[in-house]
Chains A and B, each alone.
Chain A
Amino acid sequence: MSASGANTGGFCPPGGCGSQGILVFRAGVWNNNPIAVQILGICSALAVTTRLENALVMGLAVIFVIVLSNLLLSLLRTATPRRIRMIAEVAVIATFVILVDQFLKAYYPDMSGRLGPYVGLIITNCIVMGRAEAFALHNRPAVSVVDGAANGLGYTIILALVGLVRELGGTGRIVFGERTLLEIPGYVPNHVMILAPGAFIALGFLVALFYALGLQREQEAHP
C-alpha cells in the first residue's frame, strides 16, 4: 500500500501541498508503518535495540539516509534510465550510509563501535530501498521527503519502544552516554531481554499491541 501522487507539473499537486503531505505523513508513521505493516527493516530493529540510546541513534541515521536518498532519487527520477534504476538506487543509498558511518567514526566512535556493522547494513535495510522504489521514483521531491521522514519516524518510534522495553527490562535502568537517566529501585534485571530471544519477543508483543490498538494489517493474516 503506497501513497501515489498526481504527477503533473508544478511543485505541489492540485489541491495544495498540505493535504497530500499530511496523508503521506500519517501513512508513513502509522497506517503504513514500515515495521508493523510493511514488515521491513526488522533486522536492525532487533540488533541495535539493546539500549534506548543505540536505538535512537540508529533511527536518526536511517531518517537521514532515507530523507536524503528519497530527495535525490526523486530529483533524478526523470533523468534516470530504467535499466540502471536499481543500481542507481543502491549507489545513492550506499553513499549516504557511508557518509553517516564516516561521521560516526569521526565524532562518536563509541556509538560507532556499538552499532558496528549494522550501520553499513542500512544499505540493505528494505525500508530505504522500498521507499525509494515505491515512492521517490514516482513522486515529487517535496512529498518524497515527507514520505521518507514519515517512514523513518515510524521506524524510529518502534525501535525506541523496543529499546526502552529491552533496556529497562534487561538492566533496570536507562543510560545515555555516562549518565543514568532512569533507574528502577530494587529491580532484579531479566537478562533475557537484552539477549537475542528478548529482542524477538519484545518486538512480537509490541506489534501485537499495535494491531490490538487498531492498526490494519496489509494482507489477510495467517499465523
Chain B
Amino acid sequence: MIGPEIDRLIQLLAKLPGLGPRSARRVALHLIKRREGLMGPLAEALAAAASSIRTCSVCGNLDSHDPCFICTGAGRDPSLLCVVEDVGDLWALERTGAFRGRYHVLGGTLSALDGVGPDDLSIPGLLERASQPQVGEVILALNATVGGQTTAHYLSDRLAPCGVRISRLAHGVPVGGELDYLDDGTLTAALRSRRTL
C-alpha cells in the first residue's frame, strides 16, 4: 500500500527523539504534501549539515568549523572555562546569553550502573586546557544528579593541581518555583546555599 521510499522515510523519522511510528507517518505525510516548500529545502539542509558539521577538536562542540565559533570567538573570555556534559547543555547555556567564556564538552558523566568510567570522558583535554596560564576559573555546569555531581567531585579532585578556581552551578529554587511544590532535596540544597540579602 505504501511505497518503499515512503516506508523508509517513515522508519527513519520514527528513530527521531519524541517520534513514534504513528507520529512519524504524520510527519512523513506532511513533508510529502509540501515537497517543494519544505521537503526539498529540508533534505538540502540535512545533506549540507551532514557533510559540513564536525566535532570541535578543542572543546567538543558541534559546528561547521573546527575549532568552533566559540573557541575562536574574539569576544569570549579565555579565563572562564565551563564544563558541560553534552552539546545540548552548551546550547542551553548559550541560549541564556549569560556566559561569555569558553566551554568544554565532557561527552557524558561517570555512571557506575552504565559502566561509564573516567576513560570514557574527555578529561585529559580538560586538564590540558585548565593548565593553560590564561584560564583562571573552571565552572562545573553538570546536572544535579548522582552521576553529574559524582563527576563534578571527581573533576574537582583532578583539577586541583592545575591551580585554578573551581566552581559549580547553584542548586535550589528555580525561577517561578513555589516552595510547596519543591522536593525535599532541592529545598535542602536551597537552604544550604542561601545568600545574605
> Do A and B bind?
no
